[in-house]
Structure 1
Amino acid sequence: PGYYQHKYGRGDKHLKVDGVILDEATGVYWNWKKAKVKSEAEAKEKGYTKTKNAYKGYVGQQIGDKVYKGFKPDKLNKSGFFELYSELLEAKNIAALPTYYPIPAHEKMGKDELILTTYKVAVHIHSRSANCKWLTEICNDNPGQINPITAQRLGIKTGDKIKVKSEIGEITTTAKVTEGIVPGTIAISHHLGHWEYGRYASGKKAPMAGDNDPDLKLKNWDTYGVHPNWIIPNSPDPISGQQAWMDTVVKVTKA
């Protein structure tokens, strides 16, 4: 299978090719000609990690006395090591070692505010599997999970309808009081809450779709959950650009 390709060995047909050299510092075999370096001497002097576009010539990774395909780098030169010190971040005037940066919105939180986080359940795939009847039969609701300490402070019990409000909107869901979530937070999975997508996902017939599935008579749920995306602002991380899914500040009240 494709996901085992990193274990494939690299033999002479890969390593005895014109331009392929071993970078002793990292154990990376790479082709300096494909990286468009002027000469082999220059490539060896600079080394793999210091040569621009060296990743384009990546061939394999030496581990012990064997060479493997490994994981081909994408636009960055791999070093062959766990990299705790990032020269890429250093070049952008960002701390090169793992560094904690407090989230500004969390430092300004009031006593009546919580942190909304999202998560995945084992039987669903992002938001794209709610139309699968067998999976949605197992999981067809996504209540807001709250720690007992927080729930007691807010006067909330399992089964209560609650409103979860952020700076951009609010949603209504059901509370589930559980020790499985830390105090001061509320967790809502992101798989459900469709307003279309067929009978199993939303309770509505999908546009342009048939409505003759014989298993519909076996459908035993009428809950379809709610999607937290409605209240999570577009807030990318300034360093990685990844969307911040886990730290939205919200207020939770009984509906």
Structure 2
Amino acid sequence: MMRAARERLGEEIKDTREVNPGEVWEENEFWMELTWRIDPDGSLGIRKFVESQKNPGKRLSVDEYYSYIFENSVPGLKEKAAEENLTPFDFMRRYGAFEIRKKVGAIYEERVPVEELEDVRVDRFGRAYTKTTKPASPNIVPIPTIDADAEGRRFVGVKMDDEIFRGFPTPSGRLEFYSHTLAEWGWNDWAIPTYIKSHVHPDNLDEDQTILISTFRLPTQIHTRSANAKWLDEISHTNPLWIHPSHAARLNIRTGDMVRVETEIGYFVVRAWVTEGIRPGIVACSHHMGRWKLKDEGQRQMMATVALNRQGNEWGLKRERGVAPYESNDADTARIWWTDVGVHQNLTFPVHPDPISGMHCWHQAVRVRLADPGDERGDIHVDTAKSHEVYRKWLAMTKPADRFSPDGTRRPYWLLRPLKPAREVYRLPETPDLVAVE
């Protein structure tokens, strides 16, 4: 908005850093500029993808990039814009949205048009397959990949009452209550919806343990990149431990006290903030703080300088100094009044790979207590041997593909992946390379 407004006032804006608060660089523009610089002469073969078609030899601009999308990828937009003597780009800049179809409703209930039903075969489960090539669509949202039939026909829908409907993007074409995929990959107990007690379920916690929520975000620091905005840094630059008054009273903790948060593999030291803004028995520490650097290298506005120490498997990180005002071409850097930038709690979290998906299970079972004499804000201690033990424990809960795969693949091919590798990549090697793990 700022760029468009200032350009209308006659200014020439080279890139979004000149107008965005905090000199934030619009992501599309950043990636195009980075590609342009990586391949300045085109020898790597990637420069052509960000070269302007209107001005060959120059980098693609954000306006041209979106103009092309709106002119070629949005059905009906060009005609609607023409009714108001606007280009599709100007139409979107004015209105911000365009409705392609009205009342789309439940796609799974759509009847498949006859044009897509050439040489249809329906199997005994009611799944319909067609020889018709999948029609082109501007909708690039990825969907699961359902296998073709033995003769190469693509899955097109589900037959019900002599009609073929779109159905769901599952192997059965239906909303699956029972997952044949989970069952054939060894997870029979979880093949139907059930409740699974997580690693932080009360039944899995010791009496003196509580749950640490480490993934919540402050409204002023919603993403890693937001820390590059100096005004947001001034508003929110530290991450105290949120704890309910009733919980804090049991532990003799008051706001501002230094506390230790002990995980399976170590601990971090942080100030407490007693607040009714959190459920009793739960603690929380926002995750987008605590950046650190060794010596004087790196960013000076949001990174503490630390010392990193090691004794065998024991690692320690101790803060030497926080941030401070400094001179630069931005006068505001001399106005930094705070020193604390939070604690990097992630270092104290062991790896918790979910046995099925592999995703990291972030919530932590922790013990919270007043800090020891000598503990300082930002202290971190980690035992990497314990970390490895935890990893091996979670790894033992998995179902290895080389033992449970029903078809010699690493994982079910049909499952949704935004960037899907080629099918042959899914095949397990005939002779696996064995690696000894101590």
Unaligned runs of 5+ in 2: 1-65, 75-97, 147-154, 156-166, 306-321, 372-438
1:145 to 238, 242, 245: 242
Work out the CA distance in 2 between the residues paired with 1:186 and 1:154: 12
Work out the CA distance in 1 between the residues paired with 2:126 and 2:212: 40
2:284 to 173, 187, 199: 187
Q: Does 1:101 align with 2:202?
A: no
Aligned partners of 1:126 and 1:190 also within 8 Å? no
Matched residue, 1:174:
271
Please identify, of 183-192 and 99-108, the stretch whose mean Cα deviation from structure 2 is larger. Answer: 99-108
Aligned residues: 222
Matched residue, 2:119:
40
Work out the CA distance in 2 between the residues paired with 1:103 and 1:245: 11
Matched residue, 2:356:
239
RMSD: 4.3
CA positional deviation for 1:69: 4.1
Q: Does 1:27 align with 2:114?
A: no
Aligned partners of 2:209 and 2:367 also within 8 Å? yes
- Summarize the Cα distance change of 1:59–1:129 in structure 2 as closer, same or farther, 3 Å threshold: same
Aligned partners of 1:143 and 1:173 also within 8 Å? yes
Aligned partners of 1:143 and 1:174 also within 8 Å? yes
CA positional deviation for 1:157: 0.8
Aligned partners of 1:166 and 1:231 also within 8 Å? yes
Work out the CA distance in 1 between the residues paired with 2:233 and 2:299: 12
Unaligned runs of 5+ in 1: 11-23, 34-38, 61-67
CA positional deviation for 1:160: 0.6
Supply the AA of the counterpart residue of 1:85.
F
* Secondary structure in 2 matching 1:200: coil
1:252 to 353, 360, 368: 368
Matched residue, 1:36:
none
CA positional deviation for 1:86: 5.8
- Summarize the Cα distance change of 1:237–1:221 in structure 2 as closer, same or farther, 3 Å threshold: same
Structure (1 or 2) with the larger CA radius of gyration: 2
* Secondary structure in 2 matching 1:229: helix
TM-score (normalised: structure 2) = 0.43
Matched residue, 1:117:
213
2:177 to 60, 63, 85: 85
1:70-123: CA deviation from partner (whole Å, max 9, x where unpaired)? 844144697179957363445443534432111246434222111111211122
Supply the AA of the counterpart residue of 1:222.
T
Work out the CA distance in 2 between the residues paired with 1:232 and 1:226: 13
Supply the AA of the counterpart residue of 2:342.
G
Q: Which structure shows the higher helix fraction?
A: 2
TM-score (normalised: structure 1) = 0.69
2:261 to 134, 142, 164: 164
Aligned partners of 1:147 and 1:183 also within 8 Å? yes
1:9-49: CA deviation from partner (whole Å, max 9, x where unpaired)? 49xxxxxxxxxxxxx9642759x99xxxxx7312xx14999
